[in-house]
A and B are shown apart, each in its own frame.
Chain A
Amino acid sequence: MRRYAKTLIVVAVLLTLSVLILGFQRIDFIDRGSEDTLLGLSLGLDLQGGSYLVYQAEEIDPVTGEGSVPSEDAMESLKRSIERRVNASGLGLPIIQRMGDNRLLIQLAGVTDIARAESIIGETAQLVFKHRRLEVPRDLDEIDADDIVDVSAQVIPVDEQGRLSTTTDPALLPLPAFPETMFFPETSTATSTATSTPIAMTLSLPLLVVEFTDGGAAKFAEVVDRLSLSFIESITAASDTSFAPAPPSRLDVSVEGETPLRFEVTGLSIAQIGATNRFAFPFPADSVGNQLTELGPAQAMLGVNPSIRFTEIQAQVDEPINLTGDDLARAYPSQQSQSGTPIIVLEFKSRGAQIFGELTAEIAGSLTDAIAIFLDDEELISPRVTTAITAGNAIIQGRDFDVERVRDISLLLESGKLPIPITQVEKRTVDAILGADSLRKSVIAGVIGLGLVVLFMVLYYRLPGLAAALALLIYVILVLAIFKMIPVTLDLSGVAAIILSVGMAVDANILIFERMKEELRAGRTLTSAVNIGFNRAWPAIRDGNVSTLITCGILFWFADQLGASLVQSFSAALAIGVVTSMFSAIVITRTLLRAVASTNVSRKVRLFVPAAGAQLPQQASATAAQRS
């Protein structure tokens, strides 16, 4: 087998492989390519739109106020925090890279709301510990006897829709709902509960009606709103299975009349009658638990001049205890030594340990107290306290803890713990419209440019020009495939680099052909002219390309110093282009020409040395002749 035939096969295999690589948008088994970019290439932000943000982290000494370069660990933890935050925000998949000692590069493709992205990245998440108290009674001192005009038992007519009507005001309002009938309605919106009270609709039950003064009614309405909100929150939480549902806040009502009455109602069980100052409560059951159905006994129970007192039972109260993420030294997932159950370990700093110790001593063993931990106002976890923990090391265990959950919570606890302060030092944002525009125009310009070069080569160098043009097309396919495989991110400067390297590839071919022409004029056979032409052109090609590679290396170093991705992709693209272009000129063109030389075509020398070539300086052929 002839030598060039082997090479031809290698080139053909490489070409097929490259075409396949480019043909399939996404190549799963090597994790390359993408479904939604041109040829699945990895495109720079200036070709698809997006933002490129650089942040600098600086550890500030709390005592001296001097800044210093953060440690490796601190930077890694910072990177993880930001990664988590961006991922959680639904901004898309970020690319986050360390840059130098103290910088982070965040690239977000296709993000339009850059202000939001900046606030998500830049904000330091605030981790706050609070003392949670459950079932806290609070006397509603602000509503006293002076605010109440009258307390009575009444039956209020109900219209067809099951709503209370009033004689003084035709406006209709939802019927008060009885706890028994609607403790867990199907939906959690307040309006829908009006229709879920069939009992009141059919029976005219007596209601406890309290009439307030104007001022009293306003104050009481606020209380009812608060209670209703708590009720809705409680139901919402109940539908979210990851939390044990907290009971809603309730109103403890105690009536001093003929028979003392005391009962609790939720916010949704209290209704304002029309736009009046009257509020209706479901009439409490009697001592045996029977619902009163007649007005008479109800009125009898109240007596002549009953007084009423309200106590709000708050479901939970979170009191700030001045304990924050700054007081936390570490949080990490672990396992209980005996059972192997996943747990979270917290280590407090000295100030934190003290506050935490005092609180845990106070509420140890209590079922109505807990420590609630919030990250950016979002509740993370609210464990109860079993014993006083004064050493500053605590563990959290939970029935539903598994390895994953424990790890997630630990990470979140850590992320709130002052990730080093960061400031934005660089930002590049490109609108997707401009990106798409640039991409489209680059492709058009590239095709036209390449077309012109091919045309020129074929017209000027004839058959070898055709071989070179073919080699050039193969070269472009190879380079793009290499870009996709490495992968190199192709941005505008990368496009420019490819164009330049096409120029270099052409240059190598031109150098060779000019030498070849000299040899042919000197009367050599085509095969030997091809070989000698290549050999003589090689030193110039080598030296020229090496000097370009030197420039590339320096640019790459420069980019590394700066983290300038523009420069980096340019130099990487140019270096790949230069190396591939040498391969294209030396191997592909030569092989193609050798293949041609071995056929009959080779006798038609005019195909190789066009008339235009004859106008070249006479010395050229003279020197070639001397040498031969």
Chain B
Amino acid sequence: MDFAGKRVWFYLLSLSVIVPGVIFLILFWLQPGIDFTGGSEMKLRFADDVKQSDLRVELADQGHPDARVQIAGDLYLIHTKELTEGEKGELVEALKGALSPDGIEDLAFDFVSPVVASETVTAAMWAVLAAVVGIFFYVWWAFRNVPSPFRYGTAAIVALAHDTLIVMGIFAILGQVADVEVNTMFLIALLTVIGYSVNDTIVVFDRVRENVQVYPNRELSDVVNISISESLGRSLNTSLTLLFTLLAMILFGGPTIRAFLLVLVIGVVSGTYSSIGIASQLVVSWEEGDFGRLYRRVSPFGAR
């Protein structure tokens, strides 16, 4: 199958998903949860049927106009400014009186101070950076025997950035549409996606690495096609089994880690796709000088 010949379509498909997400990221960025901004979050389960909009109105009446309300299964996650135990108790009582006279289960209450939150943000940035740099060098080293190993490292990183952007873009959109917030768990999931994305890319590259030596006289695009075909069964099967378990977790697991699992599902799909459609194709594009051609075509200076 000629994957490499269709690489432009792969790029366009990715862009069509990434661009809307990036626009949302630029306009709104992600909705940061208490882990990153500080504040309090409570998880409540109402005995009565309570609408999200009613809950927002009631929270505003109780003096929390900027409270954010997320739905997680049968729970409501309410993010407010910092509250003490006493203030939380009063708020829960007030909500019970106004919205759910049959009762409220007060299931969890978290508080993060701004000091800790800002440390988390700093550490998170370092962690992502360190993960990216570490993986880049490892891939470079692992492919040291292939011609131009630097390209493989770079392509793996671009694929990884691709997956990260897709996940972040979708969550930026969800943040606006459904008040979905990102927290430390989101960050863990994102780093896991990074790990998975690279893992998957490496499997495909491993075939390329092997086949480059088996067919030293073939074009790289042919070698990449052969390699993708050979690893396609494995890639799909692995993704499918992972998706089985993740979907089982989403359907039957608790509501509290659903957002975490959603990141992983998006990441697994995107990671499998990017190994074939992005990472491998970038190596081919680089070899065949696609980017130079593109540059010459669009740039007035390149036209000469």
Binding site for B on A (CB under 8 A): 46, 54, 56, 114-115, 118, 423-431, 433-434, 437-438, 441-442, 444-446, 448-450, 452-453, 456-457, 460, 492-493, 495-496, 499-500, 502-504, 506-507, 510-511, 514, 518, 536, 539-540, 543-548, 550-555, 557-558, 561-562, 564, 566-567, 570, 574, 616-617, 619-620, 623, 626-627
A428 and B112 alpha carbons, distance in the complex (Å): 8
B240 within 8 A of A: yes
Q: A502-B245, A555-B188 are in contact. Are A427 and B110 (CB under 8 A)?
A: yes
Decide if B229 touches A503 in the complex (CB within 8 Å): no
CB distance from A462 to the nearest CB of B (A): 14
B303 within 8 A of A: no
Interface 1/0 per residue, B106-138 and A, CB below 8 Å: 111111110110011001101100110011001
Decide if B108 touches A493 in the complex (CB within 8 Å): no
CB distance from A280 to the nearest CB of B (A): 50
Which residue of chain A lies nearest to B237 when distances are taken between CB atoms in the complex? A510
Decide if B214 touches A507 in the complex (CB within 8 Å): no
Q: Report 15 cross-chain contacts, Cβ distance below 8 Å, ordered by A residue.
A: A56-B115, A438-B257, A452-B244, A456-B244, A496-B257, A502-B245, A514-B233, A514-B234, A514-B237, A548-B196, A551-B131, A551-B135, A561-B126, A564-B184, A567-B188
Closest 9 CB pairs of A and B: A449-B245, A449-B248, A551-B195, A544-B199, A438-B254, A558-B127, A540-B206, A503-B242, A445-B252
Q: A445-B251, A547-B195 are in contact. Are A434 and B108 (CB under 8 A)?
A: yes
- Total contacts A-B at CB 8 Å: 224
From 201 to 245 in chain B, residues with beta carbon under 8 angstroms from any chain A beta carbon are: 202-203, 206-207, 209-211, 214, 226, 229-234, 237-238, 240-242, 244-245
CB distance from B203 to the nearest CB of A (A): 5
A570 and B260 alpha carbons, distance in the complex (Å): 12
Q: A429-B108, A511-B234, A623-B214 are in contact. List 19 more A-B contacts (CB 8 A).
A: A118-B85, A426-B113, A429-B109, A437-B254, A441-B252, A493-B257, A507-B242, A543-B142, A547-B135, A547-B198, A547-B202, A550-B195, A551-B194, A558-B124, A561-B123, A566-B185, A567-B188, A623-B211, A623-B230
A544 and B197 alpha carbons, distance in the complex (Å): 9
The main secondary structure of chain A at its interface with chain B is helix
A46 and B226 alpha carbons, distance in the complex (Å): 47
Q: Which of A496, A506, A540, A547 contacts B260 (CB 8 A)?
A: A496
Decide if A500 touches B120 in the complex (CB within 8 Å): no
A118 and B84 alpha carbons, distance in the complex (Å): 10
Q: A452-B245, A506-B241 are in contact. Are A511 and B127 (CB under 8 A)?
A: no
Which residues of the other chain, B, contact A562 by a CB distance below 8 angstroms?
A: 116, 119-120, 123
Binding site for A on B (CB under 8 A): 1, 43, 85-86, 89, 105-113, 115-116, 119-120, 123-124, 126-127, 130-131, 134-135, 138-139, 142, 184-185, 187-188, 191-192, 194-196, 198-200, 202-203, 206-207, 209-211, 214, 226, 229-234, 237-238, 240-242, 244-246, 248-249, 251-254, 256-257, 260-261, 264
Decide if A425 touches B115 in the complex (CB within 8 Å): yes
Decide if B113 touches A431 in the complex (CB within 8 Å): no
Q: Which of A499, A507, A555, A617 contacts B246 (CB 8 A)?
A: A499
Which residue of chain B lies nearest to A103 when distances are taken between CB atoms in the complex? B116
Decide if B191 touches A554 in the complex (CB within 8 Å): yes
Most B CB contacts (10 A, CB to CB) among A424, A551, A570, A616 go to A551
Which residues of the other chain, B, contact A616 by a CB distance below 8 angstroms?
A: 233
Q: Which of A445, A545, A550, A561 contacts B135 (CB 8 A)?
A: A550
Q: Which of B123, B126, B139, B214 contacts A547 (CB 8 A)?
A: B139
Decide if B238 touches A557 in the complex (CB within 8 Å): no
Which residues of the other chain, B, contact A496 by a CB distance below 8 angstroms?
A: 249, 257, 260-261, 264
Which residue of chain B lies nearest to A515 when distances are taken between CB atoms in the complex? B234
Q: A510-B237, A540-B202, A554-B134 are in contact. Are A445 and B253 (CB under 8 A)?
A: yes
Which residues of the other chain, B, contact A553 by a CB distance below 8 angstroms?
A: 134
Q: A442-B253, A460-B237, A617-B232 are in contact. Are A540 and B191 (CB under 8 A)?
A: no
Q: Which of B108, B214, B241 contacts A430 (CB 8 A)?
A: B108
A442 and B251 alpha carbons, distance in the complex (Å): 10
A438 and B241 alpha carbons, distance in the complex (Å): 23
A56 and B119 alpha carbons, distance in the complex (Å): 13
CB distance from A159 to the nearest CB of B (A): 53
Which residue of chain A lies nearest to B135 when distances are taken between CB atoms in the complex? A547
Q: Which of B188, B198, B251 contacts A493 (CB 8 A)?
A: B188
Which residues of the other chain, A, contact B241 by a CB distance below 8 angstroms?
A: 452-453, 456-457, 503, 506-507, 510
CB distance from B215 to the nearest CB of A (A): 9
Most B CB contacts (10 A, CB to CB) among A456, A506, A536, A627 go to A506
A246 and B203 alpha carbons, distance in the complex (Å): 83
Decide if B238 touches A554 in the complex (CB within 8 Å): no
Q: Which of B135, B192, B202, B229 contacts A620 (CB 8 A)?
A: B229
Q: A546-B138, A623-B226 are in contact. Are A492 and B249 (CB under 8 A)?
A: no
Q: Which of A118, A510, A620 contacts B238 (CB 8 A)?
A: A510
A552 and B192 alpha carbons, distance in the complex (Å): 8
Which residues of the other chain, B, contact A617 by a CB distance below 8 angstroms?
A: 1, 229-230, 232
Q: Which of A452, A510, A564, A626 contacts B214 (CB 8 A)?
A: A626
Which residues of the other chain, B, contact A499 by a CB distance below 8 angstroms?
A: 245-246, 249
CB distance from A547 to the nearest CB of B (A): 5
A562 and B187 alpha carbons, distance in the complex (Å): 13
Q: Which of B111, B207, B209 contacts A426 (CB 8 A)?
A: B111
Q: A503-B242, A546-B138, A551-B194 are in contact. Are A511 and B110 (CB under 8 A)?
A: no
Decide if B240 touches A456 in the complex (CB within 8 Å): yes
A478 and B242 alpha carbons, distance in the complex (Å): 20
Which residues of the other chain, B, contact A557 by a CB distance below 8 angstroms?
A: 127, 130
Q: A425-B116, A550-B135, A627-B214 are in contact. Are A493 and B185 (CB under 8 A)?
A: yes
A449 and B111 alpha carbons, distance in the complex (Å): 33
Q: Which of A429, A500, A503 contacts B110 (CB 8 A)?
A: A429
CB distance from B73 to the nearest CB of A (A): 10
CB distance from B227 to the nearest CB of A (A): 10
Q: Which of B1, B43, B229, B245 contacts A453 (CB 8 A)?
A: B245
A114 and B230 alpha carbons, distance in the complex (Å): 58
A485 and B202 alpha carbons, distance in the complex (Å): 33
Decide if B130 touches A554 in the complex (CB within 8 Å): yes
Which residue of chain B lies nearest to A453 when distances are taken between CB atoms in the complex? B241
Which residues of the other chain, A, contact B188 by a CB distance below 8 angstroms?
A: 493, 555, 566-567, 570
Which residue of chain B lies nearest to A624 when distances are taken between CB atoms in the complex? B230
Decide if B206 touches A543 in the complex (CB within 8 Å): yes
Which residue of chain B lies nearest to A456 when distances are taken between CB atoms in the complex? B241
Which residue of chain B lies nearest to A472 when distances are taken between CB atoms in the complex? B241
Which residues of the other chain, B, contact A506 by a CB distance below 8 angstroms?
A: 238, 241-242
Decide if A574 touches B192 in the complex (CB within 8 Å): yes
Q: A431-B107, A433-B105, A500-B192 are in contact. Are A550 and B138 (CB under 8 A)?
A: yes
Most B CB contacts (10 A, CB to CB) among A547, A551, A567 go to A547
Which residue of chain A lies nearest to B110 when distances are taken between CB atoms in the complex? A428
Which residue of chain B lies nearest to A517 when distances are taken between CB atoms in the complex? B233
Which residues of the other chain, A, contact B249 by a CB distance below 8 angstroms?
A: 442, 445-446, 449, 496, 499
Which residue of chain A lies nearest to B40 when distances are taken between CB atoms in the complex? A427
Which residues of the other chain, A, contact B109 by a CB distance below 8 angstroms?
A: 114, 427, 429
Decide if A427 touches B254 in the complex (CB within 8 Å): no
Most A CB contacts (10 A, CB to CB) among B124, B232, B251, B252 go to B252
Which residues of the other chain, A, contact B124 by a CB distance below 8 angstroms?
A: 558
Decide if A434 touches B127 in the complex (CB within 8 Å): no
